[in-house]
Structure 1
Amino acid sequence: MPDRTPALARKPAARHLSFRHGSTGMTWCGLLGLSVLFTVPLHYLHLPAAILLGPMFAAVVLAVREIHLPIPHPAFLLAQGIVGCMIACSLQVSIFSKVMGEGPLFLGGVMCVIVLCTLIGFSLARWKVLPGSTALWGASPGAATVMTLMSQGYGADMRLVAFMQYFRAAAVAVAATVMAHGATPVMADTTTAFWSMPTSWAAFAETAGVIVAGVSLAHVVRLSAGALMLPLIVATALQDTGLLSIELPPWFLAIGYAVLGWGIGLRFTRATLRYAARAFPYIMLAIMLMLGGCGLMALALARVRHVSVLTAYLATSPGGEDTVAIIAATTPGVDMPFVMAMQTVRFVLVLFTGPFLARTLSRWVER
C-alpha cells in the first residue's frame, strides 16, 4: 500500500507534463497566427513599428488570459542587438555636417522639444499618474524602442513605458500624415520597396557577427542596456570607417522586432492594463500637450529659419522618426536634410541623456 501512492502520484504528473509540452507548441502557433493577424492591418495603415506592435498586441492577448510563454533570454538580447544595428544605419556623419553650420538653431530647437517633453513626464511622475520613473521614460521624445528596452534596467515599468511611447508615436504619425495631406498613397509604394529590397549575404553575415559579438560582450561585462548599445556603437564606428556595410534583410528585422514585441507583451497582466486604462486620460492629455507645444515651436522655427511650416513641424515632431522620414522624403516642398538632421540630433541626445535625466529626476519624484 505505501508503494502504490507514489506510483499513482507519478501518473497524473506525467500526463500533466505531456499536456503542457503539447500545449506549448499550440500556444506558439497561436501566438504566431495572432501576430500576423495584428501586424498586417497595422502595416497597411502605415503605423510606426507595425512589425513590433503587432506581435506585442498578440502577446498581450495571451498574457491577459494568463497563458505563459517565456521568451528565451538570449533571443531577447539578440533582438536588441538587431535594433542597435538598425539605428546605426541612420547615424551617418554626413547628417551632422549640416548641424555644424546651424549649430545654435538646431541645438535650440532640439533642446526645446526635450525640455517640454521632460517637464510633462516629470509632472506625470510627480502626480503619481504612473509608478516611479515610468512617466519620465515614456515621455522621452524619440527612440521609442530604445527607451522602452532601457527603462527596465533602471527600474521603470517597461510595459507602461511601451504603452506611452508607442501610443504617442502613433499620434505623431497621424498628425504628420494629416499635415502632409497626400503622403499616405506614396508611403505604400515606399513600404513595398522596403520589403522587396535585395540582400547582400556577405554584408549580412558581417552585420550578424557584430550583433552576436556586441551582445556577448555586453553579457560578459553585465552592462545595463549593453545588448542594444554595444552593437549600435560598434556598427556605427565600423560603418563610418568603411569597414562594415550594415545589411539587415526585412525578414531578419521582422524576426527581431517580433521577439521584442513578444518579450514586452508577455510581461503585461490584467492589473497592468487596468492601471493603463485608469491613466489613459492623463497620458492622452500629456501627448496632446506635446503635440501642441511642438506645433508652436514649429511655427516659431518656420519664421526664424524661413522653411515651410510642414518642414518645421516634421523636424520638431516628438518621436516617430521612421514615419517622419518617409513623409518628408515623399512630400514635395519638404527640406529633407533639415528634417532628418534635427530628428537625428534629438535622437542621439535622447539616446545618451535620457537615462541620466530619468535617474536624476526620479530622485526628485521620490522626495
Structure 2
Amino acid sequence: MRWALLLIATIGVTVPLDRLGVPSAALFAALLVGIVLAVTRLAPSGVPRKAGLAAQGVLGVYIGTMVHSDALTALGPHWPVVVGVGVITLLLSIGAGALLGMHRDVSALTGALALVAGGASGLVAIARELGGDDRVVAVIQYLRVAVITATMPVVVTLVYHADRTSHVASTPQSHSAPWYLSLAMIVVLVVAGALLGRLARLPGSGLLGPMALTIVAELSGWSFGLTVPVLLVSASYMLIGWQAGVAFTRESLRAIERLLPAALGLIVLLNVATAGLGVALSKIAGVSMLDGYLATSPGGIYAVLATAVETGSNVTFIIATQVLRVLLMLFAAPLLARGFVRLAYRRASTDASSEPIAVAEARPAARTSS
C-alpha cells in the first residue's frame, strides 16, 4: 500500500509539472512526494539498491544518446575555448560548493556535489554512492535548476532583447530503431557498462559506465538509431527521486531549511559568473551575446534549448557546448568526490597521534564513504 500510494501520488504530481514544462518533472515530483510521505511516515523504508542501479544505467544511456558527431563538429576550431569555459565553470562550482561546505549542516563533499553546474539528475543518482548526502544534493541541485529556468526568460527579454516570435527550427530527422531493438540495446549497455565501470574502478560506475559505452556507440555510428522510451526515462527519474526523498526526516528538513539562504545566494553568484563567461565566449568564438549566454548557462539544458529554438539562436553550437559541459561535470564530479574522501582520510591519519580514539571512530566512516 505504501508503494502504491507513492506511485499514484508521484504520477499525479508529475503530469501537471510536465505540462508546465518543468525539466525532469518525474524526478522533481518523486523527490517532493517522497519527502512529504517520509515526513508523515507513509513512505516505504527505501528503494532497493538494484532498482537504483538500473535507474542510473538507463539515465546514463539516455544522456549518452544526446551526444552526436554532427553537433560536436559545429564547435570547429573553437572547441578548446568551449572546453576551457567548461573547466572554469567546474572550478567556480567547486569554489561555491566549498563555501557552502563551511556551513555546519553540510560536509564539503556534499556542498561540492550540490553546486556542480550540470547533470543534476545524474549527480543526484550517484551522490550517496560517492559519499555525499543525496537528500541535500537533490534539493539544492533542483533549486539551482529552478532558479535558472525561472530567470532565463526574463534575462533573455530584458538584457538581450531577444525576439521571441515563433522561429521554425530545422532539426534533422534521424532514423530511430524499433522499440524492441532499443530495449535490447539498453539492457546490454546498462549491464556491460556497469561491469566495465567496476573493472576500471570508475566512480559512479552504474551511471558513467553505460554513459561512456553509449557515447562510443553514438560517435562510432553503431547506435542503430537507439532511443530510450519516454516511459522508461520517467520510471528511472522516479526511482532516483524516491531514493533521495524517502530518506528524509524532519531533522533533515530543518537542516535543509537552514542551508537554503546560503545556497540560493551562491546559485545567483554562479549564474552571474557564468554569464560573464558567456560574454567572453561570444567575443572569442564570434557568436552573438545571446548565444554565449545560452551556451554557458549552468543548468536547465532543456529550457536552454527551448529558448534557443524560440529566439532563432545558433542551436547546434549551443547544444554542443551544453552537452560538453554536462559530460565534463558528470565525469569530473566522481573524481572530485574521490579526492575529497582521500583528503579526509589523510587528515584523520595525521591526527591519529593526538586523538587516537576519535580517529579510530572516524576511519570506518571514511571507508564507508569511499
Q: Is the 8 A contact 1:214 1:231 kept in 2?
A: yes
Deviations 1:243-283 (A, max 9, x none): 33322111111111111111121111111111000111001
Q: Is the 8 A contact 1:122 1:361 kept in 2?
A: no
Q: Show the counterpart of 1:37.
A: 12
Q: Show the counterpart of 2:65.
A: 89
Q: Cα 1:365–1:340, aligned 2, differ >3 Å: closer, same or farther?
A: farther
Deviations 1:143-162 (A, max 9, x none): 11222222212211011011
Helix, strand or coil at the partner of 1:236: helix
Deviation at 1:127, TM superposition (A): 4.4
Q: Show the counterpart of 2:189.
A: 210
Helix, strand or coil at the partner of 2:29: helix
Deviations 1:188-218 (A, max 9, x none): x99xxxxxx9963323322233224434666
The one of 83, 102, 107 aligned to 1:107? 83
Letter aligned with residue 262 of structure 1 = W
Deviation at 1:316, TM superposition (A): 0.9
Q: Show the counterpart of 2:172.
A: none
Q: Show the counterpart of 2:30.
A: 55
After TM superposition, the structure 1 = structure 2 runs for residues 1-367 of structure 1, keeping only pairs within 5 Å, are 26-69=1-44, 70-128=46-104, 130-181=106-157, 200-215=179-194, 224-245=203-224, 246-328=226-308, 330-360=309-339
TM-score after normalising by structure 1: 0.81
How many angstroms apart in 2 are the aligned matches of 1:267 and 1:359? 23
| Structure that is richer in helix per residue | 1
Give the aligned CA root-mean-square deviation in angstroms: 3.0
> Which sections of structure 1, spanning at least 5 residues, go unmatched?
1-25, 191-196
How many angstroms apart in 1 are the aligned matches of 2:52 and 2:250? 23
TM-score after normalising by structure 2: 0.81
Identity %: 28
- Largest Rg, 1 or 2: 1
How many residue pairs match? The answer is 334
Deviation at 1:106, TM superposition (A): 1.5
How many angstroms apart in 2 are the aligned matches of 1:142 and 1:231? 18
Letter aligned with residue 337 of structure 1 = T
Q: Cα 1:362–1:284, aligned 2, differ >3 Å: closer, same or farther?
A: farther
How many angstroms apart in 1 are the aligned matches of 2:25 and 2:112? 24
Q: Is the 8 A contact 2:140 2:263 kept in 1?
A: yes
Letter aligned with residue 208 of structure 1 = V
How many angstroms apart in 2 are the aligned matches of 1:268 and 1:220? 33
Helix, strand or coil at the partner of 1:90: coil
Q: Is the 8 A contact 1:75 1:259 kept in 2?
A: yes
Letter aligned with residue 261 of structure 1 = G
Q: Is the 8 A contact 2:164 2:310 kept in 1?
A: no
Letter aligned with residue 115 of structure 2 = A
Deviation at 1:186, TM superposition (A): 7.5
